[in-house]
Every structure is written in structure tokens, then in C-alpha cells.
Amino acid sequence: MLSKALLKLIKSLEIKKFRKEYELFVAEGGKTVCDLINLNIEVEHIIATKEWLNNHKEIKNLNISEVSEEELKRASFLRTPQGVLAVFKQPKYDIDTTIPERELCLALDNVQDPGNLGTIIRIADWFGIENIYCSQGCADIYNPKTIQATMGAIGRVKIHYINLFNFLNNLKEKVNIYGTFLNGENIYNKSLENRGIIVMGNEGNGISEECSKIINTRLFVPNYPAERNTSESLNVSVATAIICSEFRRRF
């Protein structure tokens, strides 16, 4: 059974203010929920249908409510609930701003679409980028749409919200700060390092003027063939994927 109090808590977690206050977030679907549990993200509550629980007997010693399809539907943020929904504690970790001196990292400058943010986290995970630095204007990683798009990768990638300008400014003498611009250099021919920061910009406006000035390696993913009339740009998560693939291909 789904208690009124739990339903109310879950519903409140669709709103950033309450996620922040309670330091909790919601994940849905067997793959994501099980991945997060296996990655030791602390679980507060699980609500699941009988059928789902019967197929997942390994989930135990946890705070589980067996609910009807109807109850799950009432709690879920999805149009088609996927058998299970769980409330997790937001993991806490310290911000280490020296990581880009040793590893390749991503920085997101006002990436506002929760789906794009989630997709970028999944891409980062695939390409072994373990730290993402987000400007305060980015979407919230605990937005249910972001969590959904990460497909569990949120448990393996650390996301830090910071003042992006100050952060980049402090690093600019120490590492390469990469960014993509329509007048940047062809990424395929450019020498790339296995450390530093790749900055990705806002969906509509690209990288902010302020941060653009700090970027010391300006890249471009060429369209093909160069002279063909084409879309003006690539979606930010798509561009992130191509760039990460190009960095990792070299090593």
C-alpha cells in the first residue's frame, strides 16, 4: 500500500526546492533503480508492483512498499510507469578543482534542458569522464527527466555546481580549456590532450561571452561536405558525444 505521506513526499520531489530541502531524488524503472542500488546510492523508499518484486527477489532488507499498478501510476512522473519507483538520498562529495590537471573533465555552461543534461552524464560515463562541472544556470541533475536520461550513470559520474567563470579562470594557466565554436579549428586534425576541460554551451546561445574568453583551444566539428548548406548546429548532447569520442579515440 502507498501511504498518503509517501505519495506526498514523492510528488514534492518533482520540484527542485523540495529536492534541495530534503536532499532526496526519485528514480524510476528497473534498470536505473537497480543500478543505483548496486552503486550504493542510499535508498529511502522503494515502491513497486507485486509482479516487479517477484522478478527482483534480490532487492531486500530495504524499505519496500508493494503497491498496485494504479497506486504506482499515481506516484509516477512517467506516462507509462515501469513497475518500480524509488526515493534515493542525494550523494554528497567534495569538490576537487584540481582534477582537470590529471583527468579529462566536462564543464557545462547553462545547459538548461534536463534531458540533455542526463544524456551528457550518460555519455560522460561511457567515455570514462568522471567529473562534470556545471554553472549554476544548468538544469538540476536530480530533475526526474535528467535522472531518467542518465540510465543509472548518475551513480558513476560526479556533478559539481560551481561558479564556472571563476573555476575556469583559475585553471586556464594550468590546463587546456577546450570549447566548440563555429569558427574553431577542425577537431579531427587538432592535437588533443588526455586531461583538461571540455566546455559545452547553452542550447540556444552556446558558450557565454564571459567563459568564451577563457577558452584557449577553440574546436569545431566539421559538417560534411564543408560546402553543403546544412543545419546551423548540432544538439549539445550530440556534440558532446562526438567530441568525447574524438578525445578518447586518440588514447
Which residues would be at the binding site for a second copy (CB under 8 A)? 115, 119, 122-123, 125-128, 149, 151-153, 156, 188, 221-225, 228-232, 234-235, 237-239, 241-242, 245-246, 248-249, 251
Nearer to a second copy, 76 or 119 (CB): 119
Nearer to a second copy, 64 or 151 (CB): 151
Nearer to a second copy, 125 or 140 (CB): 125
Strand order in the sheet with 24-28: 24-28, 84-89, 43-49, 64-67
Nearer to a second copy, 71 or 125 (CB): 125
What is the nearest approach in angstroms of a second copy to the Cβ of residue 194? 10
Enter the C-alpha cell of residue 13.
520531489
Nearer to a second copy, 2 or 129 (CB): 129
What is the nearest approach in angstroms of a second copy to the Cβ of residue 1? 31
What is the nearest approach in angstroms of a second copy to the Cβ of residue 151? 6
Enter the C-alpha cell of residue 86.
524509488
Enter the C-alpha cell of residue 61.
532488507
What is the nearest approach in angstroms of a second copy to the Cβ of residue 117? 13
Nearer to a second copy, 87 or 239 (CB): 239
What is the nearest approach in angstroms of a second copy to the Cβ of residue 28? 15
Using alpha carbons, list the distances in angstroms from residue 197 to 10, 18, 249.
Answer: 36, 32, 17
Nearer to a second copy, 62 or 242 (CB): 242
d(CA 141, CA 113): 10
Bridge partners, 179 (sequence order): 199, 218
What is the nearest approach in angstroms of a second copy to the Cβ of residue 79? 12
What is the nearest approach in angstroms of a second copy to the Cβ of residue 244? 8
